[in-house]
Chains A and B, each alone.
Chain A
């Protein structure tokens, strides 16, 4: 039996209360949302928090998915299943539905949360690549107040984020801009597994020209889950398969996969190129209204 080390348990009744509890309990206290990343790590004693602050009661404040002005806003406590089921998220950014269909399995998706995924900072987390492609912004709140951090600047390394121990992620924001399309492509060994490699793309077109583009990569050692060299090369180029293949090559050259039980380096690099290309093609087709 896998038994976590002992800890004390507190239940937050509001965002303010959660932040106050984290402050009182000190740096070894951790937030628990779905617990589907944290609890497995506690069972293996890779994580040994002294105290857990349970935020599952804060759904009314933290689990909304809505449009606010020109932003899509996703609460940190929205479950994977909520995002997959959200018509408004899918309408503006089909990449969310592409990704959520292949994140874990339907039962895990009922409890794991969007914020938990991003705060876990697993180097193979799918949503990190999705938000990197969309250049989403996280709202964090600590005792000193609220700050906004681009998801591209949230992760400082494997399992490490810029969040202070007493900071809570409240929500994610993605700007809705006209002329856009987005898509996600993942290769996994079997249903419910983390990716061998995956790529997300968001494309904004002016006629047949790429006005702007975001590319996210996961599980292949891309810094901040992004491919800035490929993005820079693609901006202003014609939106053709040829340009997308060239961007895929650049993305693959600049990532840094490592060999593990999911595959060798050259295979993962090949996937980075191919999946980036396919995501760009599908994102562009969607931007043109040629694909749902």
Chain B
């Protein structure tokens, strides 16, 4: 069947089997390898992308179900050649080591800050609780998200 998914603002149309998972559509059909494919059992969360604005585990959604809808992946975080503050935060605070969980962590963190610009440590840990990181013990991820929150707060003050 023909499926069209708007990924990061670009429509991607491909002929696929209905059983193709969204994560494989993104990686193999659209060629966007930033989204990782991990446990395949909706436990690890490295495949998290936004579907119509909400983070979902793309290993547990068929591409067909996203037909006509919009997806945002880690490649869509950067705007006009500038990294998203969340990406900067992960660089500044060593929010990654091996980097395997990072795309999912970034997408969930961005969604968290959009909904809650000043999250507590507990709220950050809750937001990423469906995602596994085997390197950082989560400490540096939490710091990275706080870094991004503070950066966004200070930029807003300047522009206000």
Interface residues of A, Cβ cutoff 8 Å to B: 1-9, 11, 32, 35-36, 39-40, 42-43, 52, 54, 56, 81, 104-108, 110-111, 191-192
Contact = CB atoms under 8 A, between A and B. Distances in A.
A262 to B, nearest CB: 15
Given A107-B108, A110-B55, 13 more contacts: A2-B40, A2-B41, A32-B62, A35-B60, A36-B57, A39-B62, A40-B41, A40-B42, A105-B130, A106-B126, A106-B129, A107-B45, A192-B130
Given A1-B40, A191-B129, A110 B54 contact: yes
26 contacts: A6-B17, A6-B18, A9-B18, A9-B64, A32-B62, A35-B62, A36-B57, A42-B19, A54-B64, A104-B130, A105-B45, A105-B129, A105-B130, A106-B126, A106-B127, A106-B129, A106-B130, A107-B108, A107-B131, A108-B130, A110-B54, A110-B55, A111-B51, A111-B54, A111-B56, A191-B130
Contact of B55 (A3, A5, A39, A107): A107
B130 A4 contact: no
A8 B18 CA distance: 6
B60 A39 contact: yes
B60 A40 contact: yes
Nearest to A190: B129
B129 A4 contact: no
Interface string B7-44: 00000000001110100000000000000000011110
B61 interface: yes
A7 B65 contact: no
A60 to B, nearest CB: 14
A40 B129 CA distance: 20
B1 interface: yes
B133 interface: no
A124 B154 CA distance: 46
Interface of B: 1, 17-19, 21, 40-43, 45, 48, 51, 54-57, 60-62, 64-65, 67, 108, 126-127, 129-131
A81 B51 CA distance: 14
B60 A7 contact: no
A191 B45 CA distance: 13
Contacts of A191: 129-130
Contacts of B57: 36, 107-108, 111
A144 B32 CA distance: 47
Contacts of A5: 19
A4 B19 contact: yes
**Which of the listed residues B54, B127, B130 has the most CB atoms from chain A within 10 Å of its own CB?**
B130
B137 to A, nearest CB: 15
Nearest to B16: A9
Contact of A192 (B51, B62, B67, B129): B129
B1 A107 contact: no
Nearest to A7: B18
A221 to B, nearest CB: 25
Contacts of B42: 36, 40, 108
Contacts of B1: 9
A111 B129 contact: no
A161 to B, nearest CB: 22
A137 B21 CA distance: 34
Contacts of A4: 19
